[in-house]
Amino acid sequence: MLITCTHCQTKNRVPDERASHDPVCGRCGRALLSGEVMVLDESTFDAVVAGSELPVLVDFWAPWCGPCRMMAPQFEEAARRLKGRALLVKVNSDEAPRLSQRFAIRSIPTLIQFRAGQELQRLSGALQASQIIGWIK
């Protein structure tokens, strides 16, 4: 499968059976699937979301949003539990207004699931880790 490094935006080919064995980027050497939530912005979003064959779950959020802050630990837990099976990323909608406009973000938190750069589904509102995991499968 192809996975784009969230750090340097280099596309990496990772055999499916190696996805759970902590693959690293061939260019920068950083973890490709660390099980951590990665932060994307307007300059990195398209390369990472379109360049990954894994499902990518994007959390559009803002630091002033109470439900966003309440969901953050749940999103991080879901990222750990989905390590090697999905890439979970956050986009600060205040710092990425063009992305928020492009995806018609009207309320936050909004979760959008992508596969190969195509939007598959979306939900608005805070979720528990188990709900996030169940929704992405």
Which of 5, 8, 28, 68 is the catalytic position?
Answer: 68
Closest CA to 81 of 126, 131, 32: 131
Is residue 68 flagged as an active site residue? yes
Tokens of 46: 């398209």
Is residue 28 flagged as an active site residue? no
Angle in degrees, CA 126, 116, 131, rounded to 5: 25
Closest CA to 57 of 33, 42, 75: 75
Give 123-127 contacts, CB < 8 A, sequence gap 24+: 125/67, 126/67, 126/68, 126/70, 126/71, 126/74, 127/71, 127/74
47: part of which helix (H) or strand (E)? helix 45-50
- Catalytic residue positions? 65, 68
